[in-house]
Structure 1
Amino acid sequence: MSEQAPSQQTAREQAEQELRDSPREVPATIQDPALLLHELQVHQIELEHQNEELRRALQETEEAHRKYQELFDFAPIGYLTVDRMGLVQAVNEAASSMLGMQRSRLTGRQFGAYIAAEYRGHFTALMKRIFESLDKRVTEVLLLRSDGTTFWAQLEGAAISKEGKPGDSCRVAVIDIHVQKQVQQEIMHLNQTLEQRVEERSAKVRELSEELERFTYDVAVDLQGPLRHIETFVDRLGRHQEYDEEALRYIEHIRSSGERMTILTTALLSFSRASRMRMRSAPLPMDQVFKDVQRKLRPQLKDRNVRLTSDPLPVVQGDSGAMQLVLRELLDNALKFTRDQPDPRIHVYAQDLPREHVLAVSDNGVGFNMRYRDRLFNVFQRLHNERDFEGAGVGLVTVRRVVSRQGGRVWAEGHVGEGATFYVALPKQPDELD
């Protein structure tokens, strides 16, 4: 009452002022008190003012309702008001058009009836979550049109607040996502098709690779016999006959070519065996692997003043035989390219990365130009003259092949005249060995 008193007083003051400004004639009555007449006139004017205020408020309310109704009716997406039981209380033109039914036929019916049977559980769960709080909830369903066709829709719902709590009804927005869903399904189908094709191609590549490895192995084995015969006959020719200088040069050329072919076939056999060797992943202490390889290298180290050192090395997941082969090839490579150094140094160390153990073999040898680093791991590729450094160009290829079969990777860094470092990264949680 106290809150309304000021407005009532104002209305009375306005009424009294208006009465003073333009007195109204009232038919005289017998014994009609002037005070009573004044009060009646004031109340009449006061009521007229209040009525005018109510009429303006009603017009504003009706205008706001009209604007809201227009927004509701002509919104580009579907809107519904649904009660706790799932009954449609109100629906706009967009939702009516989506479902292909008149608004009057939709009102009062279960909205779940227009959802494909396999997705009605989604709508039931959505309604339950909507009335648990005032937060917006979302789900995707397949809706049914009146002609029996279907389309994908996203439902976004929120309870209508009543005294700060979910009331007895909610607003549900219906967004047509049929095109987006079709695109998603097409992308999924294409991805599945692509994965299948990749698997088929990968299987074909593996099959061809295995066939090539078998062919390489067979060729290398078959060449060894004829090469031994060539070397034997050339040796006999050189011992039992007198030849002029040109003939001797030819014989020496045949001998050196045969030796080169023997080196190549031996390297191919080693690479083929490394590619076909059986592997078993297990915890492998690289400190012990280093000691084993170092012991096997003693004959090569005996006549050289090489400082071969190692930091503490980690336990990795890998195959023992494979990792001995990797470390042996890398150390052989380092020994070869530090041959002309007055103070040759080779150091083995490790780096611990979040997902990998990285092993490194560093030397202070001749190094290489980083522009050609990709050629290091290609078969028969050499960055240095064959006359200066022997070899077939297969050792580092073997390293890459063996490491890749264990899910790892290899790379190298170096500078001409400043040495090189070769890195082997092995995953801490490898997949099944290739």
Structure 2
Amino acid sequence: MTRTPHPVPDPRSLADQRDEVQRPQEQGPQRSTFFMEAPVAAFALDAEGRVQDVNRRGLALVGLARETLLGRPFSELVAPTSRPIFEALLGRVFDAPVGQSAEIVLPRPDGTFLDVLLEAVSREGEGLWDGCSLVVTDITAYKAAQRVLQSGNADLSGQLQERTARARALNEELEHVVTTFIQQLQRPTRQAMSVLGLLRKALGDQPEEVNRPLLQIERALQQIVALFESVNRYMQARQLQTRIRPVDLSVVLREVLKDIRDLLRDRDVQLTHDALPVVQGDSQALSVIFTEYLSNALKFTRTREEARIHILVRETETEYHVGVQDNGVGFDPRQEAKLFRLFGRQHSSNTYEGSGLGLAVIRRVCERFGGRAWGEGQPDQGATFWFAWPKRPVVLE
């Protein structure tokens, strides 16, 4: 029984076959057959860009007869908007030793349009064609998918921008509500404190059972006022208008000490510091950090006969680490993370005043410049509160 041999498939890749179609070689029957049956659309153009030859795939691609194409400028097959691109391709292919490519649009007789990739190789001087060979690849499906993807990305980008703007508007609205709420409550609270003071003065000396509730009311009102002030500072830190420039921390410290001089009055405080650097940052933001840290140190050294506060400075390749060290009551290191949260506090408000917002303000300011804040301490052994400041800060909104 005789078996009919199956044709051996061409082991060459599509890219190899494309190169062979474009590669200059001697013209002959084998060459003509391969050109005509090549699995890619191929055209031969003369030096003027007219079609000298076209294979079967090329005819199918453009949808025209061979007689219609031969001798016709290939540019007439190209969409008007793509003709400058094609002309530029022809100019490059004769000037460059390597192949050139470009993407254009080809209209078809049925009214449809194809997105195609042109790959051109010069054939001057090789004796085959005095011009160039052109391989045309239909990339319509790819371009359509690309347009869909770009459209989807544009939609997603638009949605993201819309949601970002919405979030910013809601945030601004919330900040306005909080600020207005505080301002509206501060006046009646202060009036209540004033009335309470006048009442105590009018009553004069009273028994303990009368004075005690009045003192409790006064202390509660003072706590409310302190809370208002803390929230105000926090909101100001959120809304801080910043500008990066050189800031001398020794100048910042000197100005802060003037602002907190009332906290130093009638107290034995030894305040020392390492050499303070000049950093890149915002003086107002750094003043907020120093004010909160020093106020915190003075508060928790109140029970010491002599308060010792020292400002430490450490330097790394990328940051300055500045710490405010005190000999106060310290804190449980297991609760360190809690201290930097909003309204986080470890000590009772009956013993130490405050709202628990000061350290949260510092954390917020540091993070806005790409820094961070943390604390170290032990109960009754003092504490050191640090902030890391980048040498090249970037303001984060």
Both structures adopt the same fold (TM-score exceeding 0.5):
yes
8 Å Cα contact 1:74-1:92 kept in structure 2? yes
Greater Cα radius of gyration, structure 1 or 2 = 1
What is the letter of the counterpart of residue 254 of structure 1?
A: I
Higher RCO (Cα < 8 Å, 6 or more apart): 2
**Partners in 2 of 1:371 and 1:141 — Cα distance?**
66
Q: Secondary structure at the match of 2:43?
A: strand
Give the corresponding residue for 2:278: 313
Check if 1:345 corresponds to 2:310.
yes
**Partners in 2 of 1:216 and 1:132 — Cα distance?**
70
**Partners in 1 of 2:300 and 2:207 — Cα distance?**
40
**Partners in 1 of 2:89 and 2:54 — Cα distance?**
18
Q: Structure 2: state its 5+ residue gaps.
A: 1-26
8 Å Cα contact 2:248-2:278 kept in structure 1? yes
Give the corresponding residue for 2:81: 118
**Partners in 1 of 2:174 and 2:76 — Cα distance?**
63
Give the corresponding residue for 1:149: 112
Say which of 131, 149, 162 aligns to 1:169: 131
Give the corresponding residue for 1:179: 141
Q: How does 1:220-369 map to 2 (within 5 A)?
A: 220-232=182-194, 234=196, 236=199, 240-244=205-209, 250-276=213-239, 279=241, 281=243, 283-287=245-249, 289-293=251-255, 295-296=257-258, 299=261, 303-314=268-279, 316=280, 318=282, 320-333=283-296, 344-348=309-313, 353=318, 358-364=319-325, 366=330
The RMSD of aligned alpha carbons is: 4.0
Check if 1:200 corresponds to 2:162.
yes
1:403-431 Cα distance to aligned partner (Å, 9 max, x none) = 67xx7333234555474432344866879
**Partners in 1 of 2:204 and 2:313 — Cα distance?**
47
**Partners in 2 of 1:181 and 1:74 — Cα distance?**
24
**Partners in 2 of 1:153 and 1:82 — Cα distance?**
17
**Partners in 2 of 1:174 and 1:187 — Cα distance?**
24
Change (3 A) 1:217 1:135: same
8 Å Cα contact 2:260-2:291 kept in structure 1? no
Task: Name whichever structure is richer in helix by fraction.
Answer: 1
Give the corresponding residue for 1:384: 346
Q: Structure 1: state its 5+ residue gaps.
A: 1-60
Change (3 A) 1:350 1:179: farther
Q: Secondary structure at the match of 2:130?
A: strand
1:344-369 Cα distance to aligned partner (Å, 9 max, x none) = 5322466665xxxx554224565886
**Partners in 2 of 1:145 and 1:219 — Cα distance?**
69
Q: Secondary structure at the match of 2:346?
A: coil
What is the letter of the counterpart of residue 361 of structure 1?
A: V
- Displacement of 1:113 after TM fit? 1.4
Give the corresponding residue for 2:369: 408
1:205-257 Cα distance to aligned partner (Å, 9 max, x none) = 3333233222222221222233234434555459554254xx76655543333
What TM-score, normalized by structure 2, do the two folds share?
Answer: 0.71
8 Å Cα contact 1:311-1:350 kept in structure 2? no
Aligned residues between the structures? 355
1:353-411 Cα distance to aligned partner (Å, 9 max, x none) = 5xxxx5542245658869975x6665x3315334475432333444566667xx73332
Change (3 A) 1:428 1:217: closer
Q: Secondary structure at the match of 1:131?
A: helix
Q: Secondary structure at the match of 2:274?
A: strand
